A and B are shown apart, each in its own frame.
Chain A
Amino acid sequence: MEALAQLLVTSLLLAGVYALVSVGLTLIFGVMRLVNFAHGEYLMLGMYLAFWSFNLWRLDPYLAVLAAGPVFLLVGLATYYLVVRPVVPRPHTVQIFTTVGLSILLQNLALFLWTGDFRFLRTEYTNVVYKLDGVALNFPQVAAFGVSVGATLALFAFLKWSWWGMALRATAQDRQAAVLMGINVDRAYGLAFAVGIALAGLAGALIAPLYAVYPTAGLQFVLVAYVVVVLGGLGSLIGALVGSLVIALLDVVGAFLVGVAWKEALYFMVFLLVLLVRPAGFFGQRGAEEFRA
């Protein structure tokens, strides 16, 4: 029973991070109708940001977390204007392979600059362990969850109450109508993309103390994020949260039913099933999967 409790809590904490990555991915899709196949690479860069700022300047990894948001907001903006913006009006194939190309570029840039070595960010935080009824958690796990929840709530508040947040939601709902309401759709795209990237970078910095840092470290997270967002419905923020929870539970159930080694297969089976049975996911708009620009 204790093992179950430990697994449940660990999975739930991790679900917070998945939610952060997925919310960014789904925000970009919802507003721009574009799947960012390079999303995992920004997470990886976020991990390196935390790793290097600690190893080069002895910066506290949680200062790097603070910096990651604004830094990746700028990185996201630059990416949007340099790479993504010109292909927004182009066919799906062009969009897909632009972000795939970006993913290859960033992965190998990291490989070239920092080699393929697995690096570990070990700080005194890792040794801070909380015990609760036999469930042991270390500080980075709890912090990753806490900051993820905070950032997600902040995003929701921004979308709900700020003018630009409303503009983003309007653009997601109906591009044409948004233009007629005087929204600069180009800026809305740039903002959505930059915020999505910022969340990915933030997530990366948060999990750097927990996982090995290497050039393709983003892949396993972004693969889960794809499952999460499709499960919840691409473009739906609430869906991304629910999807993360479902994945966390699948994690636990899967570990018991089919063993830890096989649980990933379970994710992707569920993923395929959802795509085939109800591609719109739990909360997505029906028909979005057939959307054509």
Chain B
Amino acid sequence: MKGRPAFRPVLSADQGLALGLFLLAALSPAVIQDNYFLDTISLILLWAAMATAWNIAGGFAGQVSLGHAAFFGLGTYLVALPQVYWGWSAWFGLVLGALAAAAVGLIVGYLSNRLRGPYFALATIALSQVLLVVFSRWREVTKGGEGVPIPFRPGLENLAFVGKGPWVYAMLVYLLVVFAIALYFERGRLGQLLAAVREDEDAAEAIGIDTRRLKVLAIVVSALLTAIGGALWAQSIGFVDPFYVFSIDLSVKMALIAIIGGMARAIGPLIGSVLIVSTESYLRATLSGPQAGQTGLYLIIYGLVLILVVRFLPQGLAPLMLRLLRWGKAGA
């Protein structure tokens, strides 16, 4: 029998790894000058946060969505349009988008509660498609298919920054908030209730858990956080294209990062984002120019990795990474 460890670590391995990533990200703008590199770091943070937001509904509540682009897109448009029309501060738009997405999440979550598995996924695809058609065709209000350029008025009061460094901090703050909420959904009392629902919904219902309220809550929180991500992304890019922000590709990317990283734990999407977004960014830099046609190649590999991971590593890569880490520590 193994003895009890002499001391109990203050942080679990998951939390330690997350903390390390946050610290690295926080230090990066001071050390790194290269704009492309900094841009990659803020994208890693953004996608980590959005995949985490997706995971609150998809992983923790078992409501697998393929239409989270709907919430993302609402976030982008509601931050962009009020600035264009009335010159509002982006912060108002961000809050507005978050509330709108939460409202849509509430309706969808509440109405689609009976739907399980692929039916829920189909319903969410339809939702994002409806919004795509509305936002790309309603020219008078949304400026239609050409998209919306956001006027650049730098300053914190307007959530617009010169240079890439401040964006790393903005995305980091966003990720910290989302991650803290996800931890609560994973570890807290809420997490235990959700685990019960996920494992056996009928049994959970039978012991008096209000499964509907729990699932709706998870979807609302997930939608709200995703919309904030959309707003931040729109502000950092300065342009909203309906065919991208409401695309199925975007919905799939959020899910894919969470799944490849690991859906069962809060750390999973972080690991997924580090792996996927950094490879993507690296390949985009190396495969540009004459080799641009090969972009399909890394997406082929994604598809393959996704198929292999769900089949052979349903817990994602997180447990594997953590074991490697522990093994590395033991070897040192």
- Footprint of B on A, CB under 8 Å? 34-35, 37, 83, 86-87, 90, 92-98, 100-113, 115, 215, 219, 223, 226-227, 230, 234, 261-262, 264-265, 268-269, 271-272, 275-276, 279, 289-292
A268:B126 contact, CB within 8 angstroms: yes
**Can you give 23 contacting A-B residue pairs, CB < 8 Å?**
A34-B118, A93-B64, A97-B306, A98-B311, A100-B252, A104-B302, A108-B302, A111-B299, A112-B293, A112-B294, A230-B122, A262-B133, A265-B130, A265-B134, A268-B130, A268-B133, A271-B126, A272-B123, A272-B130, A275-B122, A276-B111, A276-B112, A289-B116
Q: B282-322 interface mask toward A, CB cutoff 8 Å, 1 = contact, 0 = none?
A: 00000000000111110110111111001100100000000
Nearest 9 pairs of A and B residues by beta carbon: A105-B303, A92-B117, A112-B296, A101-B306, A104-B303, A111-B296, A108-B299, A35-B118, A265-B133
Partner of A262, one of B119, B137, B303: B137
Q: How far is the CA of A112 from the CA of B295 in the complex (A)?
A: 7
Q: How far is the CB of A194 from chain B (nearest CB, A)?
A: 19
Q: How far is the CB of A249 from chain B (nearest CB, A)?
A: 19
Chain B interface residue bracket vs A? 35 or more
- Look across to chain A and name the residue whose beta carbon is closest to the beta carbon of B305: A101
B117:A292 contact, CB within 8 angstroms: yes
Q: How far is the CB of B199 from chain A (nearest CB, A)?
A: 11
Neighbouring A residues of B306 by C-beta, 8 Å: 97-98, 100-101, 104
Neighbouring A residues of B133 by C-beta, 8 Å: 262, 264-265, 268
- Look across to chain B and name the residue whose beta carbon is closest to the beta carbon of A83: B307
- Look across to chain B and name the residue whose beta carbon is closest to the beta carbon of A101: B306
Q: How far is the CB of B108 from chain A (nearest CB, A)?
A: 9
Q: How far is the CA of A113 from the CA of B299 in the complex (A)?
A: 13
Q: How far is the CA of A61 from the CA of B261 in the complex (A)?
A: 45
Q: A272-B126, A276-B111, A279-B114 are in contact. Are A115 and B119 (CB under 8 A)?
A: no
Neighbouring A residues of B130 by C-beta, 8 Å: 265, 268-269, 272
- Look across to chain B and name the residue whose beta carbon is closest to the beta carbon of A289: B119
Q: How far is the CA of A209 from the CA of B66 in the complex (A)?
A: 31
A226:B125 contact, CB within 8 angstroms: yes
Q: A87-B310, A268-B133 are in contact. Are A112 and B303 (CB under 8 A)?
A: no
Give residues of chain B (127-184) contacting chain A, Cβ–Cβ below 8 Å: 127, 129-130, 133-134, 137
